Amino acid sequence: MSNFNCIVIRSGKATPRIIKKKDGTQMIFNEQRAAIETGEEFPRPFTINLQEGQNPFPPGNYVLDPASLEVGDFDSLKVGRRIELIRLPDPAPAK
């Protein structure tokens, strides 16, 4: 199976990102780093914004769940704010 469009998560840890609002209060977002295999020489890193209370994804290979897609302005397809992933099975050990 090709790794094209495979989302790779290497660490099961989330990192908090704190944003100060104009009124002085803070908002905390939990983010997780991942990368997507695009067929280029190296995977392209990106950030997954986790929902409030959502556990980070465990390390592994994933594909994007179609539930993450939305129809945006001008009927264009886009990835929504919250990403849902489907874990791929681990590769079978080499014989």
Sign of CA dihedral 1, 42, 30, 10: positive
Has this prediction a pTM greater than 0.85? Answer: no
The three-class DSSP label of residue 68 is helix
**Could you list the pLDDT tens digit for every one of the 95 residues in the chain?**
456 789 999 999 999 999 999 999 999 899 999 999 988 999 999 999 998 889 999 999 999 999 999 998 899 999 988 889 999 998 777 77
Looking at residue 1, its pLDDT comes to 43
Task: Please state the domain extents for the chain.
Answer: 7-17+24-87
The architecture that CATH gives domain 7-17+24-87 is Beta Barrel (2.40)
Which pLDDT score, from 0 to 100, does residue 94 have? 74
Torsion of CA 77, 79, 82, 84, to 10 degrees: 100
Alpha-carbon gap, residue 88 to 51, rounded angstroms:
21
Q: Are 50 and 56 in contact, with CB atoms under 8 Å apart?
A: yes
